[in-house]
Structure 1
Amino acid sequence: MNKTAIYPGTFDPITYGHLDIITRATKIFDSITIAISNNFTKKPIFNLKERIELTRKVTLHLKNVKKILGFNDLLANLAKKEKANILIRGVRTIFDFDYEIKLAAINKQIYPDLDSIFLLSSKEVSFISSSFVKEIAKYKGDIKPYLPKEAHSALLRKLNNDSIK
């Protein structure tokens, strides 16, 4: 049985935390689609095209990552369209879990064939979030430990262009 899963997120920018979940998911599923949300409520500093390209570069070595796409729809609708019935969700804390179980229930109601699989973040990266990284970067802190080199370079370029306010 071919197991295809979607790993959704904003990836603004992609961090070692995201990469941890993606890498571990490739050991479980035959095919991974990374779905990058065009979520304007989060006010991303990278546009959707940039986030897709960064994610592509960072995951190039992972052969099970079959597709990277942007979306501007309900996640359950995207899963149905992509004929995927598994969502991969990374969980760092109990607060993440509380949010994720509610989201899983809503997605299941919209698309009954959709199941959510929760992967706990590895302890080495469990504290990393894109929001924290951007905040550290805004105040000229060292962000290198949190980002793959491609994302690190891209974020520094954004900083030099005054894209983070």
Structure 2
Amino acid sequence: MTDTSAAAPRIGVYPGTFDPITLGHMDIIRRGAKLVDRLVIGVTTNPSKSPMFSLSERMAMVEREVAGIAGDIRVVQFDALLMNFAERERASVIVRGLRAVADFEYEYQMAGMNQKLNDRIETVFLMADVALQPIASKLVKEIAIFGGDIRKFVTPCVREEVVARVEVVGRRGS
């Protein structure tokens, strides 16, 4: 007897603020998209962070940057508990990128809490490419604010947007 039912697609969620999206994020997205049938990039707000870009600007930035990546990739905004968002998207996997030991400690704790909330959703950690490990959105913004060159950390389009935003903020502060 042949099973004619199709297996449910494996859906992964990669959450973040992406303020701005970096080459490190892009590396995790490319690699994560290979592990699942659909990768949902969840763009969220984080009350403990002061974003440089609005949620709609970050959504547009992420959508533009992932447009050329192979695979079924969706960009969705969310402002909810991650596990509730993952359930809503019918995800079975949370994709998280790791840069350093400090990331692991935080992510390990979060994965444990998330497992307590829903043990049907697994967390998968992807190590950032060695060349991209030091990149963090917060540091990219700080470098740009102080006039440093961020082209090694973001795509040319994102660089233009960050530099333009820093110039606007600088003019307001003068």
Name stretches of at least 5 consecutive residues in structure 1 with no aligned partner. Answer: none
Q: Do the aligned partners of 1:8 and 1:36 also contact (CA within 8 Å) in 2?
A: yes
Deviation at 1:40, TM superposition (A): 2.5
The aligned counterpart of 2:135 is 128
Deviation at 1:66, TM superposition (A): 2.6
SS in 2 for 1:144: coil
- The count of aligned residue pairs is 165
Taking structure 1 as reference, are residues 153 and 65 closer, same or farther at Cα in structure 2, changes over 3 Å only?
farther
Map 1:55-134; keep pairs closer than 5 Å. Answer: 55-134=62-141
Q: Do the aligned partners of 2:33 and 2:73 also contact (CA within 8 Å) in 1?
A: no
Q: Do the aligned partners of 2:59 and 2:75 also contact (CA within 8 Å) in 1?
A: yes
**62-71 vs 114-123, greater mean Cα deviation:** 62-71
Map 1:1-165; keep pairs closer than 5 Å. Answer: 1=7, 2-162=9-169
Deviation at 1:30, TM superposition (A): 1.5
The one-letter amino acid of 2:76's match is: L
- Mapped to 1, the partners of 2:147 and 2:98 lie a distance apart of 28
Deviation at 1:33, TM superposition (A): 0.3
Give me the identity figure in percent. 32
- Mapped to 1, the partners of 2:82 and 2:68 lie a distance apart of 26
The aligned counterpart of 2:3 is none
Deviation at 1:21, TM superposition (A): 0.5
CA-based RMSD of the aligned residues comes to 1.5
Deviation at 1:65, TM superposition (A): 4.2
Q: Do the aligned partners of 1:77 and 1:111 also contact (CA within 8 Å) in 2?
A: no
Q: Do the aligned partners of 1:59 and 1:65 also contact (CA within 8 Å) in 2?
A: no
- Mapped to 2, the partners of 1:145 and 1:55 lie a distance apart of 18
Q: Do the aligned partners of 2:12 and 2:95 also contact (CA within 8 Å) in 1?
A: yes
Deviation at 1:28, TM superposition (A): 1.6
Name stretches of at least 5 consecutive residues in structure 2 with no aligned partner. Answer: 1-6
TM-score (norm 2): 0.90
Deviation at 1:101, TM superposition (A): 1.0
Q: Do the aligned partners of 1:57 and 1:150 also contact (CA within 8 Å) in 2?
A: no
